[in-house]
Structure 1
Amino acid sequence: MNTAPSWSAITTVPDGLSESPFWHPQENRLYWVDIPGRRLARLAIAGQMQPQGEVEYWPMSEEPGCIAPVQGGGLVIALRDGIYLGENWGGSLQQLAVAPYDTAKLRFNDGKCDAQGRFWAGSLYELKDQALGVLYMLDGQGLHAMMDGVTTANGLAWSPDGRTAYWADTAAHQVRAFDFDAATGQLSAGRVFHQMTPKPAGWAWGDAAAYGGRPDGAAVDSEGCYWSAQYEGQRLLRLSPNGQVLAEVKTPVPCPTMPCFGGPDLKTLFITTSRQGRSAQELAQFPLAGCVLAMRVDVAGLSVNAYRA
């Protein structure tokens, strides 16, 4: 099923590459990161899709890959060189873990917290010619490598019952599912959840050859369906718990990066988007590239999980 949604621009000044959005229910704010802009962003939103005031920015010393709220206040932030705690917006950062990789070649990318309050963040190998990305988990005992074998870690999410974890390798055009042990955080029984068609050789935006994009960030709704942003595909896919395509939702930009659910009823779907590295012709055709967009949906999402040290 294809849908023709009505998207609204929540922001009008674009980011380079916005990512990692989450809805903060206590603050009625949407948070996200601008990776190349080396900044965090947040915006108060009244009702369902009405921005209140201006976007607030918090500059970072390095690229932020992902963020999550902290129980009781503050943010946990994955920067290139490590994971940090920011107790107050715009304040100082406390390093929780040092990045366990070569920061000249890798950085943290997509991540979020599980229902047990552990922070997960995957790494991205910037040369993109080897599958050196790793999924890490931060708990009270430190930082642990939980899964490897990807080039670009993306699409992390959990089923509503917490028994299934999803993790994507963007370069492989593949979303994987795992059995998830909530007590230990262990991932097992890995299998292909959904395989996208690879990018045609030499393909560029505007080519006649069909290309549906590759899996970027993701979110799960209350029915257990997995919403996957398709980078360069100009669409989101809503996949059933069995990995079948239930809906294709077109976006007004070629490169959506990650969805999340928010608003008082969790029926507002927000997406972050990218303009980084896109051609002048493409940006002229799609002026909302890099902006945060929103639309109303029929099925509510899941509340964001907070970090508990």
Structure 2
Amino acid sequence: MVETIAFSGSIFCDAALQLGEGPAFDPATGIAWWHNIKGKELHELHLESGAKRVHAMPFLSSVIAVIDPERQLIVSDDGLFVREIKSGTLTKFGALEDKPGNRSNDGRVHVSGSLWVGTMGRTAEKGAGAIYHVAGSTVTKLYDGVSIPNSICFSPDGKTAYFVDSMVNRIMRVDLDPATGLPTGDATVFSDQSGNPGDVDGSVCDADGLIWNARWGQGAVDVYSPDGTWLKRYAVPASQSSCPAFIGAKADRLMVTSAWADMDDEARAADPHAGKTFDLGIIVNGRFEPAFVL
């Protein structure tokens, strides 16, 4: 275990979400986006003005990515959709799998413009999900029998992917073809966290190749070096921290989502910031996410 660095940040948004997840930032508009998966909401906040909007969604969405200045990719339990930013109109783009009991979870765009995204059972049934590679309309299953896919992120050069099954808690790494985002070998253990408390949840990889991981159940963001060394832990004032994203004009800030899912009244009273979204309050050497290529 590493020493925990006290929280020095602020509440980025005080809306308490049942399952805050999938944050992303669009540098062209200065808007941060994130999901309330179980609440069927898409949240947006303009950093400079503080203007906030909440969009009701017709499904359980978990991933959002830029396509171009007018459009976004949305991944949900009903498949892949193109969303018109101005009108909010959703157009079905494709399907991931034919498993009505599943929903999408963690995902991220690779430098090639392809997408990695995971699916899972709605109540985290063991082995019900998978991790997929999406290149345009072509969907390829990469890993099957996954219970809670998380921590999907990529090295800045696109040559390495990281991912985890949070039910197993061993962060994996695999070599990639940087031109396609497809694996070129077998996945190996990057960091075995199975003996430590809390679940490895969402991650981002910064410009130096450091992995920033939200630790569900521990109220923290952990930092790992590219060789797997666990370097630091930053406290977050909500126990179920779920996913980070680089934000700001220089991608030098880190927002972190959280959740109150599965908490009873007593647990929520003891965790008053559960479900809120935070600015970690430190300077990071982040980078902007690539656009998804249709």
Q: Give TM-score scaled by structure 1 length.
A: 0.89
Moved more, 126-135 or 147-156: 126-135
Contact 1:175/1:195, CA 8 A, preserved across alignment: yes
1:219-264: CA deviation from partner (whole Å, max 9, x where unpaired): 1112111111111112111011011110011111100000011112
Structure 1 equivalent of residue 168 of structure 2: 172
Q: Are the equivalent residues in 2 in contact too, given 1:111–1:156 (CA < 8 A)?
A: yes
> Secondary structure of 2:238's match?
coil
Are 2:135 and 1:139 aligned?
Answer: yes
Paired residue for 2:192, among 191, 195, 205?
195
- Matched with 1:14 is 16
Following TM superposition, by how much is the alpha carbon of 1:127 offset from its aligned partner in structure 2, in angstroms? 4.4
Q: Residue 159 of structure 1 aligns to which amino acid in structure 2?
A: S
Q: Do structure 1's residue 63 and structure 2's residue 60 form an aligned pair?
A: yes
Match of 2:177 in 1: 181
Check whether the contact 1:267–1:296 (CA below 8 A) recurs between aligned residues.
no
Q: Distance in 2 between matches of 1:84 and 1:227?
A: 28
2:277 to 284, 292, 302: 292
The one of 81, 84, 89 aligned to 1:87: 84
Distance 2:129 2:260 in 1: 23
| Counterpart position of 1:229 | 214
Counterpart position of 2:75? 78
Moved more, 126-135 or 26-35: 126-135
Do 1:167 and 1:175's aligned partners in 2 also have CA atoms closer than 8 Å? Answer: yes
Number of the residue aligned with 1:206: none
Q: 292-301 vs 187-196, which deviates more?
A: 292-301
Query: How many Å separate the matches in 2 of 1:102 and 1:154?
Result: 19
Which residue number corresponds to residue 214 of structure 1? 199
**Per-residue deviation, 1:166:** 0.5
Distance in 1 (alpha carbons) for counterparts of 2:40 and 2:204 = 23
Q: What's the counterpart of residue 301 of structure 1?
A: 286
Query: 2:116 matched to 1:98?
Result: no
The question of whether the paired residues in 1 share the 8 Å contact of 2:8 and 2:282 is answered with: no
Aligned to 1:52, what secondary structure does the other structure show? coil
Cα distance in 1 between the residues matched to 2:214 and 2:263: 17
- Match in the other structure for 1:52: 50
Distance 1:40 1:127 in 2: 21
1:125 is aligned to 121
Instruction: Tell me which amino acid in the other structure corresponds to 1:118.
Output: S
Q: Could you say which residue in structure 1 is the equivalent of 2:152?
A: 156
Q: Partners of 1:248 and 1:212 in 2: how far apart?
A: 13
The aligned amino acid for 1:31 is W
Greater mean alpha carbon deviation, residues 118-127 or residues 150-159: 118-127
State the alpha-carbon separation in 1 of the partners of residues 171 and 149 from structure 2.
10
SS of alignment partner, residue 68 of structure 2: coil
Distance change (3 Å), C-alpha of 1:11 and 1:230: same
Cα deviations across residues 284-305 of structure 1 (Å, max 9, x unaligned)? Answer: 1221111110023233112111
CA contact (8 A) 1:8 1:295 kept: yes
Paired AA for residue 139 in structure 2: L
Aligned letter for 1:220? C
Name the counterpart of 2:31.
Answer: 29
Count of aligned residue pairs for this structure pair: 291
Range with bigger deviation, 37-46 or 68-77: 68-77
Q: Which runs of no fewer than 5 residues in structure 1 stay unpaired?
A: 199-210
Structure 2 contact 7–235 (Cα < 8 Å) conserved: yes
Quick one: structure 1 residues 92 and 256, their matched pair in 2 at CA, closer, same or farther if it must change by over 3 Å?
A: same
Q: 1:45 to 1:127 in 2, by over 3 A?
A: closer
* Partner AA of 1:299 in structure 2: V
The farther-off stretch of 6-15 and 33-42 is 6-15
Q: Once superposed, what is the RMSD of the aligned Cα atoms?
A: 1.6
The one-letter code of the counterpart of 1:181 is D
CA distance in 2, matches of 1:115, 1:88: 22
Specify the code of the residue in structure 1 equivalent to 2:61. P
Q: Deviations over 1:27-77 (max 9, x none)?
A: 11110011011011100112xxxx613x21111111002111112332101
Residues 96-116 of structure 1, C-alpha deviations (whole Å, 9 max, x = no match):
11231311x211111121111
